[in-house]
Amino acid sequence: MLAELRILLELQEKDRAIQGIESEIAAFEPELEELDAQVRGAEERIETARRSIEEAGSHRAQLEIKIENFRTAQERRRQRLEWVRGAKEAANLMAELDLGRSVLAREEAEWLRSADQVQEAETSIAEAEQQLEEIRTAQAERREEIGALQAECRDRMVGAEQERKGVAERLSKGSLVQYERIRRGRAPLALYALHEDACGHCFTAVPMHRRQELQAGQSITLCEACGVIVYNADRLPGA
Protein backbone atom coordinates (compact mmCIF):
# COMPACT_ATOMS: atom_id res chain seq x y z
CA MET A 1 0.00 0.00 0.00
CA LEU A 2 2.87 2.37 0.78
CA ALA A 3 4.51 1.47 -2.49
CA GLU A 4 1.24 2.22 -4.26
CA LEU A 5 1.02 5.59 -2.46
CA ARG A 6 4.51 6.48 -3.55
CA ILE A 7 3.64 5.75 -7.17
CA LEU A 8 0.45 7.81 -6.79
CA LEU A 9 2.46 10.73 -5.44
CA GLU A 10 4.96 10.33 -8.26
CA LEU A 11 2.10 10.34 -10.75
CA GLN A 12 0.75 13.48 -9.15
CA GLU A 13 4.16 15.13 -9.55
CA LYS A 14 4.18 14.21 -13.24
CA ASP A 15 0.69 15.66 -13.64
CA ARG A 16 1.79 18.85 -11.91
CA ALA A 17 4.74 19.09 -14.28
CA ILE A 18 2.32 18.71 -17.22
CA GLN A 19 0.02 21.35 -15.73
CA GLY A 20 3.02 23.63 -15.29
CA ILE A 21 3.88 23.34 -18.99
CA GLU A 22 0.21 23.85 -19.91
CA SER A 23 0.14 27.09 -17.92
CA GLU A 24 3.39 28.21 -19.53
CA ILE A 25 1.72 27.79 -22.94
CA ALA A 26 -1.48 29.43 -21.72
CA ALA A 27 0.44 32.36 -20.20
CA PHE A 28 1.09 33.64 -23.73
CA GLU A 29 -2.61 33.70 -24.59
CA PRO A 30 -3.45 37.16 -23.15
CA GLU A 31 -0.53 38.67 -25.06
CA LEU A 32 -1.58 36.88 -28.27
CA GLU A 33 -5.15 38.10 -27.74
CA GLU A 34 -3.84 41.64 -27.30
CA LEU A 35 -1.87 41.35 -30.56
CA ASP A 36 -4.95 39.96 -32.32
CA ALA A 37 -7.05 42.80 -30.90
CA GLN A 38 -4.67 45.37 -32.40
CA VAL A 39 -4.95 43.72 -35.82
CA ARG A 40 -8.73 43.47 -35.48
CA GLY A 41 -8.93 47.15 -34.52
CA ALA A 42 -7.11 48.20 -37.70
CA GLU A 43 -9.24 45.83 -39.80
CA GLU A 44 -12.40 47.30 -38.29
CA ARG A 45 -11.26 50.83 -39.12
CA ILE A 46 -10.79 49.74 -42.75
CA GLU A 47 -14.21 48.10 -42.73
CA THR A 48 -15.85 51.23 -41.26
CA ALA A 49 -14.21 53.45 -43.88
CA ARG A 50 -15.39 51.07 -46.65
CA ARG A 51 -18.95 51.26 -45.34
CA SER A 52 -18.86 55.06 -45.26
CA ILE A 53 -17.64 55.11 -48.88
CA GLU A 54 -20.59 52.92 -49.84
CA GLU A 55 -23.00 55.10 -47.86
CA ALA A 56 -21.56 58.30 -49.30
CA GLY A 57 -21.77 56.76 -52.78
CA SER A 58 -25.41 55.79 -52.48
CA HIS A 59 -26.29 59.13 -50.87
CA ARG A 60 -24.59 60.81 -53.84
CA ALA A 61 -26.58 58.71 -56.31
CA GLN A 62 -29.83 59.62 -54.54
CA LEU A 63 -28.90 63.30 -54.64
CA GLU A 64 -28.21 63.09 -58.38
CA ILE A 65 -31.69 61.67 -59.02
CA LYS A 66 -33.28 64.31 -56.79
CA ILE A 67 -31.37 67.14 -58.51
CA GLU A 68 -32.30 65.79 -61.93
CA ASN A 69 -36.00 65.75 -60.94
CA PHE A 70 -35.75 69.30 -59.57
CA ARG A 71 -34.15 70.53 -62.78
CA THR A 72 -36.90 68.93 -64.87
CA ALA A 73 -39.55 70.52 -62.64
CA GLN A 74 -37.87 73.92 -62.91
CA GLU A 75 -37.67 73.56 -66.67
CA ARG A 76 -41.41 72.79 -66.80
CA ARG A 77 -42.17 75.88 -64.70
CA ARG A 78 -40.10 78.05 -67.04
CA GLN A 79 -41.96 76.70 -70.06
CA ARG A 80 -45.33 77.30 -68.38
CA LEU A 81 -44.23 80.85 -67.53
CA GLU A 82 -43.92 81.61 -71.23
CA TRP A 83 -47.55 80.66 -71.84
CA VAL A 84 -49.38 82.02 -68.81
CA ARG A 85 -51.46 85.11 -69.25
CA GLY A 86 -52.84 85.85 -65.78
CA ALA A 87 -50.59 88.09 -63.65
CA LYS A 88 -51.42 86.20 -60.49
CA GLU A 89 -50.59 82.82 -62.03
CA ALA A 90 -47.31 84.26 -63.38
CA ALA A 91 -46.41 85.63 -59.96
CA ASN A 92 -47.10 82.23 -58.39
CA LEU A 93 -44.89 80.51 -60.95
CA MET A 94 -42.11 83.08 -60.38
CA ALA A 95 -42.29 82.40 -56.66
CA GLU A 96 -42.15 78.63 -57.29
CA LEU A 97 -39.17 79.11 -59.57
CA ASP A 98 -37.36 81.17 -56.92
CA LEU A 99 -38.05 78.56 -54.26
CA GLY A 100 -36.97 75.80 -56.67
CA ARG A 101 -33.72 77.61 -57.37
CA SER A 102 -32.77 77.84 -53.70
CA VAL A 103 -33.69 74.20 -53.08
CA LEU A 104 -31.65 73.17 -56.10
CA ALA A 105 -28.68 75.25 -54.92
CA ARG A 106 -28.88 73.55 -51.53
CA GLU A 107 -29.02 70.06 -53.03
CA GLU A 108 -26.14 70.81 -55.38
CA ALA A 109 -24.03 72.08 -52.49
CA GLU A 110 -24.75 68.83 -50.64
CA TRP A 111 -23.81 66.86 -53.75
CA LEU A 112 -20.44 68.64 -53.78
CA ARG A 113 -19.97 67.90 -50.09
CA SER A 114 -20.72 64.23 -50.66
CA ALA A 115 -17.71 64.11 -53.00
CA ASP A 116 -15.61 65.36 -50.07
CA GLN A 117 -17.06 62.62 -47.86
CA VAL A 118 -16.07 59.94 -50.37
CA GLN A 119 -12.61 61.52 -50.58
CA GLU A 120 -12.28 61.56 -46.78
CA ALA A 121 -13.33 57.92 -46.48
CA GLU A 122 -10.84 56.92 -49.17
CA THR A 123 -8.10 58.74 -47.26
CA SER A 124 -9.01 56.96 -44.03
CA ILE A 125 -9.00 53.58 -45.79
CA ALA A 126 -5.50 54.30 -47.04
CA GLU A 127 -4.43 55.38 -43.55
CA ALA A 128 -6.00 52.34 -41.87
CA GLU A 129 -4.38 50.00 -44.41
CA GLN A 130 -1.04 51.61 -43.73
CA GLN A 131 -1.65 51.23 -39.99
CA LEU A 132 -2.55 47.55 -40.39
CA GLU A 133 0.65 46.98 -42.32
CA GLU A 134 2.67 48.73 -39.60
CA ILE A 135 0.98 46.71 -36.84
CA ARG A 136 1.69 43.43 -38.66
CA THR A 137 5.33 44.38 -39.16
CA ALA A 138 5.71 45.50 -35.54
CA GLN A 139 4.17 42.25 -34.27
CA ALA A 140 6.01 39.81 -36.52
CA GLU A 141 9.11 39.42 -34.36
CA ARG A 142 7.21 38.94 -31.08
CA ARG A 143 4.75 36.52 -32.67
CA GLU A 144 7.65 34.46 -33.95
CA GLU A 145 9.24 34.54 -30.50
CA ILE A 146 6.03 33.39 -28.81
CA GLY A 147 5.55 30.68 -31.42
CA ALA A 148 9.08 29.36 -30.75
CA LEU A 149 8.59 29.44 -26.96
CA GLN A 150 5.27 27.61 -27.24
CA ALA A 151 6.82 25.03 -29.56
CA GLU A 152 9.60 24.51 -27.02
CA CYS A 153 6.90 23.96 -24.33
CA ARG A 154 5.13 21.43 -26.52
CA ASP A 155 8.40 19.55 -27.01
CA ARG A 156 8.86 19.36 -23.25
CA MET A 157 5.21 18.29 -22.98
CA VAL A 158 5.88 15.23 -25.13
CA GLY A 159 8.64 14.19 -22.69
CA ALA A 160 6.50 14.93 -19.63
CA GLU A 161 3.61 12.88 -20.99
CA GLN A 162 5.96 10.00 -21.74
CA GLU A 163 7.23 10.09 -18.16
CA ARG A 164 3.71 10.23 -16.77
CA LYS A 165 2.73 7.22 -18.86
CA GLY A 166 5.69 5.29 -17.45
CA VAL A 167 4.56 6.01 -13.89
CA ALA A 168 0.88 5.29 -14.58
CA GLU A 169 1.80 1.86 -15.95
CA ARG A 170 3.32 0.94 -12.61
CA LEU A 171 0.05 1.61 -10.74
CA SER A 172 -2.70 -0.96 -10.23
CA LYS A 173 -5.68 -0.48 -12.50
CA GLY A 174 -7.95 0.25 -9.52
CA SER A 175 -5.72 2.95 -8.07
CA LEU A 176 -5.24 4.58 -11.47
CA VAL A 177 -9.00 4.65 -12.15
CA GLN A 178 -9.63 6.12 -8.69
CA TYR A 179 -6.89 8.71 -9.13
CA GLU A 180 -8.19 9.77 -12.55
CA ARG A 181 -11.75 10.02 -11.25
CA ILE A 182 -10.73 12.24 -8.32
CA ARG A 183 -8.60 14.38 -10.62
CA ARG A 184 -11.64 15.09 -12.79
CA GLY A 185 -13.36 16.51 -9.69
CA ARG A 186 -13.19 19.99 -8.27
CA ALA A 187 -10.00 19.66 -6.23
CA PRO A 188 -6.85 20.78 -8.09
CA LEU A 189 -5.00 17.64 -6.99
CA ALA A 190 -6.05 14.08 -6.18
CA LEU A 191 -3.77 13.52 -3.19
CA TYR A 192 -3.42 15.69 -0.10
CA ALA A 193 -1.36 15.08 2.99
CA LEU A 194 -3.16 14.92 6.32
CA HIS A 195 -2.98 18.39 7.84
CA GLU A 196 -2.94 17.79 11.59
CA ASP A 197 -6.25 15.93 11.98
CA ALA A 198 -7.87 17.23 8.80
CA CYS A 199 -7.96 16.79 5.05
CA GLY A 200 -5.15 18.88 3.54
CA HIS A 201 -7.50 20.14 0.81
CA CYS A 202 -10.79 21.10 2.46
CA PHE A 203 -9.65 20.97 6.10
CA THR A 204 -12.60 18.86 7.15
CA ALA A 205 -11.62 16.75 10.15
CA VAL A 206 -10.83 13.13 9.27
CA PRO A 207 -12.79 10.82 11.65
CA MET A 208 -10.79 9.17 14.40
CA HIS A 209 -11.04 5.61 13.05
CA ARG A 210 -9.84 6.70 9.63
CA ARG A 211 -6.93 8.55 11.17
CA GLN A 212 -6.02 5.42 13.08
CA GLU A 213 -6.00 3.50 9.82
CA LEU A 214 -3.63 6.11 8.39
CA GLN A 215 -1.44 5.90 11.47
CA ALA A 216 -1.47 2.12 11.32
CA GLY A 217 0.02 2.33 7.89
CA GLN A 218 -3.00 1.61 5.77
CA SER A 219 -1.60 4.70 4.13
CA ILE A 220 -4.55 6.25 2.33
CA THR A 221 -8.16 7.17 2.93
CA LEU A 222 -10.70 9.27 1.06
CA CYS A 223 -11.87 12.58 2.52
CA GLU A 224 -15.55 12.20 3.37
CA ALA A 225 -16.19 15.84 2.50
CA CYS A 226 -14.31 16.50 -0.75
CA GLY A 227 -13.37 13.01 -1.89
CA VAL A 228 -9.62 13.50 -2.35
CA ILE A 229 -7.11 10.89 -1.28
CA VAL A 230 -5.71 11.78 2.13
CA TYR A 231 -2.42 10.21 3.21
CA ASN A 232 -0.17 10.51 6.18
CA ALA A 233 3.07 12.15 5.08
CA ASP A 234 4.74 10.91 8.29
CA ARG A 235 4.26 7.34 7.10
CA LEU A 236 6.33 8.00 4.01
CA PRO A 237 9.97 7.33 4.77
CA GLY A 238 12.11 9.75 2.86
CA ALA A 239 9.17 11.95 1.87
CB of 222 to Zn ion, least distance (A): 9
- Rounded Cα distance between 59 and 116, Å, is 12
Between 167 and 191, CB nearer to Zn ion: 191
- Rounded Cα distance between 156 and 176, Å, is 24
**Site residues (CB under 5 A) for Zn ion?**
199, 201-202, 223, 225-226
Distant-in-sequence, close-in-space partners of 21: CB < 8 Å, separation ≥ 6: 153, 156, 157, 160
Reported for 45-54, long-range contacts at CB under 8 A and 24+ positions apart, including other chains, are: 45/124, 45/128, 45/131, 46/125, 46/128, 46/129, 46/132, 49/121, 49/122, 49/124, 49/125, 49/128, 50/121, 50/125, 52/117, 52/121, 52/124, 53/118, 53/121, 53/122, 53/125
Between 128 and 187, CB nearer to Zn ion: 187
CB of 42 to Zn ion, least distance (A): 51
Between 226 and 236, CB nearer to Zn ion: 226
Between 114 and 221, CB nearer to Zn ion: 221
CB of 193 to Zn ion, least distance (A): 12
Between 2 and 202, CB nearer to Zn ion: 202
Q: How many residues does the chain have?
A: 239
CB of 23 to Zn ion, least distance (A): 24
CB of 167 to Zn ion, least distance (A): 24
Between 57 and 227, CB nearer to Zn ion: 227
CB of 148 to Zn ion, least distance (A): 42
User: DSSP H helical segments within the chain, as ranges?
Assistant: 2-27, 29-83, 87-170, 173-183, 208-213
